[in-house]
Chain A
Amino acid sequence: MATASSRNPFLYRRRISRGAKHLLLIGFGLIMLYPLLWMISSSLKPEELIFREPGLLPSKVTFDNYTEGWSALAHPFGYYLWNSAVITALSVVGNLAACSLAAYAFARLNFPLQKLWFALMLGTIMLPLHVVIVPQYIMFSQLDMINTIWPLILPKFLAHDSFFIFLMVQFIRTLPRELDEAASIDGAGYWRTFFRVILPLCTPALATTAIFTFIWTWNDFFSQLLYLNNPDNFTVPVALRTFLDSSGESSWGPMFAMSIIALGPIFGFFLAGQKYLIRGMATTGLK
């Protein structure tokens, strides 16, 4: 310790305050997570105890809220989970395919008007959705696609989320160009190079894209509310919302139970893909 503190006089003081710091961080983390923990705990309590017990440990545990919530709407809740899963899975596939193709062209190929297109692509990242949503809605309704999944997944297959193109371009640029050249000398064309060299090396960027697309699509409320009006097509967010209409302020227990089920997959992906999430956040922010 003596050597450490002589190298950096602040290290010594830091050690004393370290315990206090951890206490503060844990306490603050608990406050942050309290709403979530409370929701989990409330979902396991009989309705009348939710308000009376603001603590986290339920005095009586019951799964009634789950069984009741599961069948409270027009379809069993699993039906909405399936709808959400289909849209989310297709969105992930669409984004991975379309964005990686575009990113390869921007990052590695030379072509006329490249700078113009690239600038346009960057420009669309920050474009407010609302400026295109009305005409998009009109277009999809004229194509008779309201109440289908097409308005929700078609844009993904057309690389509408240019944010991910940008993310992948940034990533591909970090890959050594010699790899492309070696592949080219071996007689590989652009497609072979893309599939055999670039794509496999892009796994981290692809994982980040997949996880973010999953979470954003699973959480997305605005466009699903807009395009899905028929209870047969409802996804989890839209179905959860109808809880508010159908049961008003009365049945919070079942609503909480289904909310937790709705958050489950996000939490799962968060645990599984933390590394890619954090890295993705950091790289798009900085480099």
Chain B
Amino acid sequence: MVDSLSLKKPVVTAPAPQNGSRQAVNRSRRETLAAYTFLAPWFVGLFLITIGPIVASFYLSFTDYSLLEEAKWVGLENYTHLFTENPRFWTSLKVTGIYVLVSVPLQLGFALGLALMLDRGLRGLSFYRSIYYLPSLLGGSVAIAILWRKIFGADGLINGLLALFGIQGTSYVNDPDTALGTLVLLHVWTFGAPMVIFLAGLRQIPSSYYEAAAMDGAGVIQQFKSITLPLLTPIIFFNLVLEVIKSFQSFTQSFIVSNGSGGPNDSTLFYTLYLYTKGFKDYEMGYASAMAWVLVVIIAGLTGVNFLASKYWVFYGDSK
């Protein structure tokens, strides 16, 4: 269902037989030329702003480079310093790890729950879908991060509501124990995007399955466990992989809520925020590159683990 990434073999238009293979060669040469022309902008981009920088970044990660002086080769020093002498690196990993581990399952849980409620001929479906989807379009913006800062601030919405009950709260964004929690909530708030994907997935399950199950006396819960959930596992897996990769790279929220510091007490120091600070505040660009490569390895690792684990719980109908 999800898969279809593989190239579909294009139908080769047979060359007109009477003209022999000469024309076929001509045609395929023309086609190649056309293809590479169509792809020209992408090729320039691929080499100039993707592959080139990847190679450069890998090289820089073994150097000391500050944009003003020549890059100085330092071998593995950036990496060894990161792992053995930099507690902030570990803090940022821990903060980001907790964020991903808590917010992604919660977000997907809400997404799936709401998608199930909205499925199948509910009146007002598109209205509800819009309401729930809207936050995920706005959630990454500076404006919403500012709003969040105020909602959970000392004299913000939450404390304003609590005050109605005579409770006096503190600033949740300035408390190291709760600051990360507010960011988790912000991420959960954007469950609309995976929800839309779940809804599309649910629509692909043939209703005859449910009718047959109902005929055999299966209840709603039984139907969910034996039909909906197994057939939805590829979509759950897709959302999981996507959201883990995305949320590990979150930046704006922690930058705005902590005003660029990752505070209080580094409690919202996202990995990418720390990388940004190292590279573009302290201008330790070699160091930041090393951090970028650690990030790549982590994301690749998480994705790999996801794929390996998927063998045990993702159900592909055709592999039975």
Contact = CB atoms under 8 A, between A and B. Distances in A.
Interface string B223-261: 000000000000100110000010001011001100100
Interface stretch (B7-15, B82-90, B95-103, B304-312): B7-15
B132 A32 contact: yes
A130 B143 contact: no
A128 B39 CA distance: 23
Nearest to A261: B143
A111 B32 contact: yes
Contacts of B211: 8
B262 interface: no
B288 A134 contact: yes
B4 A170 contact: yes
A259 B117 contact: no
Contacts of A32: 131-132, 135, 189
Contacts of B157: 35, 38, 54
A32 B135 CA distance: 8
Interface stretch (A58-66, A70-78, A85-93, A219-227): A219-227
A108 B36 CA distance: 12
A101 B39 contact: yes
Contact of B41 (A52, A102, A122, A281): A102
Interface of A: 8-10, 21-22, 24-25, 28-29, 32-33, 35-36, 38-39, 50-54, 97-98, 101-102, 104-106, 108-112, 114-115, 117-118, 120-122, 124, 126-139, 141, 154-155, 157-160, 162, 165, 170, 173, 177, 181, 184, 189-191, 194, 215, 218-219, 221-222, 225-226, 236-237, 240-241, 243-245, 249, 252, 255-256, 259-260, 262-263, 266-267, 270, 274, 277-278, 281-282, 285-287
A97 B42 CA distance: 11
- Interface residues of chain B: helix, strand, loop or mixed (majority): helix
Chain B CB within 10 A, most for which of A25, A131, A170, A256: A131
Q: Most chain-B Cβ atoms within 10 A of its Cβ — which of A39, A177, A191, A281?
A: A281
A265 to B, nearest CB: 11
B117 A29 contact: no
Interface of B: 1-2, 4-5, 7-8, 10-13, 28, 30-32, 34-36, 38-42, 44-46, 48-50, 52-54, 56-57, 60, 67, 114, 117-118, 122-124, 128-135, 137-138, 140-144, 146-151, 153, 155-157, 159-161, 163-164, 189, 193, 196-197, 199-201, 204, 211, 214, 220, 235, 238-239, 245, 249, 251-252, 255-256, 259, 272, 275-276, 279-280, 285, 288-289, 291-293, 295-296, 299, 303
Contacts of A278: 129, 133, 196
Contact of B272 (A102, A118, A130, A285): A130
B137 A266 contact: yes
Given A245-B259, A259-B143, A159 B295 contact: no
